[in-house]
A and B are shown apart, each in its own frame.
Chain A
Amino acid sequence: KQEVTQIPAALSVPEGENLVLNCSFTDSAIYNLQWFRQDPGKGLTSLLLIQSSQREQTSGRLNASLDKSSGRSTLYIAASQPGDSATYLCAVTTSGTYKYIFGTGTRLKVLA
């Protein structure tokens, strides 16, 4: 059974720092991995999708990497800003299914 873990559960950093959020999964037979952002009381916003054949994806200050063999993904945020404060979730879908399994998220606070 696929399980997704995100560490740390919460993170507080000063503005301008580069930071890394971690996501690990137990079954390496994934189809893809998706990173989301959730602001309080809001729906999820898709940030990056990494397909199983890819190693990384970049969008602006965000870079996500995928290492299937070790069951890990990282989300790198460069030059963090207070507007980056949110909960970040990763989710994986396994080959042959349409379902995503979500981690419990990392709550990020960027201090001005």
Chain B
Amino acid sequence: SQTIHQWPATLVQPVGSPLSLECTVEGTSNPNLYWYRQAAGRGLQLLFYSVGIGQISSEVPQNLSASRPQDRQFILSSKKLLLSDSGFYLCAWGSTGTYEQYFGPGTRLTVT
């Protein structure tokens, strides 16, 4: 069966510090991969998605970036965090056939 992992689970970082969140998927190959952010009291905002290694599409202009160095690994990064980057970050993988999405447990990021 397929499993999706995210780490860390929680993170507190000062403004201006770098960020690296990692997501890995097991049990499937060539999945579509997604990064979402969920701010307090707001809906899910799609940040990035990838349909293959090295293929990244950005949905929202911001100081975040994403990379997909391996088929089942998706990384969200920032060089300098802003207060507005605080939120709940969710990684998801999607079936290339049905497009059904499956979510990881999320990372709670607080920028202080």
Task: Determine the residue in chain A with the shortest Cβ distance to B9.
Answer: A41
CA distance A94 to B49 in the complex (A): 15
- Is the beta-carbon distance between A43 and B43 smaller than 8 angstroms? no
- Chain A CB within 8 A of B101 CB: yes
- Chain B CB within 8 A of A44 CB: yes
Contacts of B59 in A (CB 8 A): 99
- Is the beta-carbon distance between A32 and B106 smaller than 8 angstroms? no
Q: Give the interface of B toward A (CB within 8 A).
A: 6, 32, 34, 42-44, 46, 49, 51, 59, 88, 90, 92, 94, 98-106, 108
Stretch in contact with the other chain, from A21-29, A45-53, A60-68, A72-80: A45-53
13 contacts between A and B (CB under 8 A): A41-B106, A41-B108, A43-B6, A43-B106, A49-B98, A89-B43, A91-B44, A98-B32, A98-B49, A98-B94, A100-B99, A104-B43, A105-B43
Contacts of A102 in B (CB 8 A): 43-44
- Chain B CB within 8 A of A81 CB: no
Known contacts A98-B49, A100-B46: does B105 contact A43 (CB below 8 Å)?
yes
- Extra 17 A-B pairs, beta carbons < 8 Å, given A34-B100, A46-B100: A31-B99, A32-B100, A41-B88, A41-B106, A42-B106, A43-B103, A43-B104, A44-B101, A44-B103, A46-B101, A91-B44, A98-B49, A99-B46, A99-B49, A100-B34, A100-B99, A104-B43
CA distance A41 to B106 in the complex (A): 8
CA distance A49 to B100 in the complex (A): 7
Contacts of B49 in A (CB 8 A): 98-99
Q: Give the Cβ gap from A3 to chain B, nearest Cβ, in Å.
A: 11
Q: Give the Cβ gap from B100 to chain A, nearest Cβ, in Å.
A: 5
